[in-house]
A and B are shown apart, each in its own frame.
Chain A
């Protein structure tokens, strides 16, 4: 300060200004505050390092840790003997981030060549303004390696799976197929989606500078591969059924066809074939008609194949016996305003002959003695009007109207299979009651390994045995389907020839069917065949579906090594010659070779 000269001088330290007598507590307070904040810091660091250290640990790890997905494969579908019907194999998809992929024309050329694609198309994809484009999906691993070797910027690969179906069109409807994202879309692939699908796992790793994994950190979630599904299908029998059906549809210039083979002992579905079909490995240009699994999703009026059920109910009620005479003359029967008639008029027939000759009038007369309710209960008990619970997509219950609305004429037509609709699978299943002493068997898509299967009793064993004898007559000489006979085996079965309903009117189009089983002495296989709209002149079930049944049944029984229970020669010419038990190959490619 320059305020004049002061007479007194002081040492700085003695400055009176500094000689304040501050209270002692202030310095202590400051020291305490400092100590306290230090304590807070220590506490915080203790909290971060010891109590809640996960958070920082994680932040630290995320700087060097990489999460990897471990892919899981979809389960296989195999036939009963382990033959592969559907299998997944890894492929690569090649994708690009167009912004990063600045390729010169030579590089584009190379890439297009490696992917076997059009260079212009490739350039167009790479020039797109999207953040992400697939260049090609489902590329084989070798091609993917070649692309990787080009070391192009902005081009990446992903692992994905492709499903292959080695048996192709033969088992297409049974196995179904998956979409590009490996999800089941049809058939068994969809029905068993839950067990087939795999669940990808994950792991966290530390990678070194060269990209190699050096350590696992954190927990590993192991991948769960999908479970394999072992079907009841026997691929050899499937092939037999498929090729015979295909031939029959071609020979009869038919619109479509279906065939089902069921093991009468276990209820396993050994074969399920449809025509037309498709190749599941190449699904371009698919039509709905090809995709339809007709044996399960389409219903039809079964016609005469339902007569044995009416006869069985008649026997069961005790109103008729095997040899009770029924007058079917003059081949016509008028109920109300409608008249039902036989294709060929017969005179007095026994119950057995009614089935053998397939007389509509005879069956309608039997049905007239039932109440609608008991007839409905019988149809319901053998599984009509309800799905077979296979879990197949699009399975239909068929149509069985409640008995309260039945008129007498309807009851009469239903007794011979009109005014009711069923699927081929239901019909084949219903025949287990005759093949198995009156028991209705549950049917299974998958192989059954545990002991004997029991069904639900519908008819008494006595009734079933009698109907079996009638069915054997129907498939024998003098019956409606002599062509269904199989050399070496006793066969029982029933033909069906039904007019098709079109717009509520019966058109001049037919559905020819045959359902039967063999060997009749101890039934092992049930075969049901359906040919839709045969138009090559023949339309009776015995002429169209009968020969298919015979060929399929004969080959299938020999394949399974079932001992013959009859002579090798039969009363009328079969379409194939008699077989040895170990025929080296199915011989259905030219079923007419001996005719």
Chain B
């Protein structure tokens, strides 16, 4: 009788420790999941910020300004059309 009681007690303690351990593990994993989800949100935010930055750099006025001023670009056809320019017709 005593022996079976001791065995059962031991079994119960073992189970209890098992519950504690698995709970602990579950929480660890949950925290890891939380961390990764937070990181996903952060990356999402960063993506938005980069998108914003991209479209700020790529605004048409800026492109035109750089093309004209720094790269000295100009409407290429203008020069070519000078020859056949119909401006004489206006005068």
Contact = CB atoms under 8 A, between A and B. Distances in A.
For chain B, what secondary structure do more than half of its interface residues adopt (helix, strand, loop), or is it mixed? helix
B67 to A, nearest CB: 5
> Chain B CB within 10 Å — which of A73, A84, A208, A568 has the most?
A84
A583 B34 CA distance: 51
Interface string A193-221: 00000000000000010001111100000
Contacts, number: 96
B31 interface: yes
Nearest to A487: B81
Contacts of B56: 166
A170 B61 contact: yes
Given A571-B86, A578-B81, A584-B73, A213 B63 contact: no
B30 A84 contact: no
A273 to B, nearest CB: 12
A235 interface: yes
A577 B86 contact: no
Contacts of B22: none
Interface string A159-191: 000001011101000000000000000000000
B73 A585 contact: yes
Interface in A568-595: 568-573, 576-580, 583-587, 589, 593-594
Interface in B55-84: 55-56, 58-61, 63-64, 67-68, 73-78, 81-82, 84
Interface in A423-468: none
Interface string A74-91: 000000000111011110
Interface residues of A, number: 42
B1 interface: no
Contact of A87 (B34, B51, B87): B51
Contact of A89 (B27, B31, B49, B76): B49
B52 interface: yes
A570 B56 CA distance: 38
B75 A585 contact: yes
A549 interface: no
Nearest to A85: B55
A573 B81 CA distance: 12
A89 B48 contact: yes
Nearest to A582: B76
Given A84-B55, A87-B51, A235 B60 contact: yes
B45 interface: yes
Nearest to A243: B61
Interface residues of B, number: 34
A570 B86 contact: yes
A239 interface: yes
A346 interface: no
Q: Provide the main secondary structure of the chain A interface.
A: loop
A236 interface: yes
A573 B89 contact: yes
A471 B11 CA distance: 97
Interface in A369-404: none
B90 interface: yes
A593 B86 contact: no
Contact of B75 (A164, A168, A583): A583
Contact of B48 (A88, A168, A239, A570): A88
B59 A589 contact: no
A295 B51 CA distance: 30
Nearest to A570: B86
Contacts of B74: 587
Given A239-B61, A243-B61, A584-B67, A214 B51 contact: no
B30 A579 contact: no
A236 B86 CA distance: 29
B75 A576 contact: yes
A593 B52 contact: no
Contacts of A87: 48, 51-52, 55
A45 B58 CA distance: 70
A578 B77 contact: yes
Nearest to B80: A577
B61 A577 contact: no
Contacts of B75: 576-577, 579, 583, 585, 587
A214 B31 CA distance: 6
A167 B56 CA distance: 7
Given A572-B89, A584-B67, A214 B73 contact: no
A577 B31 contact: no
Interface in B7-28: 27
Interface of B: 27, 30-31, 34, 45, 48-49, 51-52, 54-56, 58-61, 63-64, 67-68, 73-78, 81-82, 84-87, 89-90
Closest 10 pairs (CB-CB, A-B): A239-B60, A166-B55, A587-B75, A577-B81, A577-B78, A84-B55, A214-B27, A573-B90, A166-B56, A573-B87
7 contacts: A84-B54, A84-B55, A213-B34, A573-B85, A573-B87, A579-B77, A587-B75
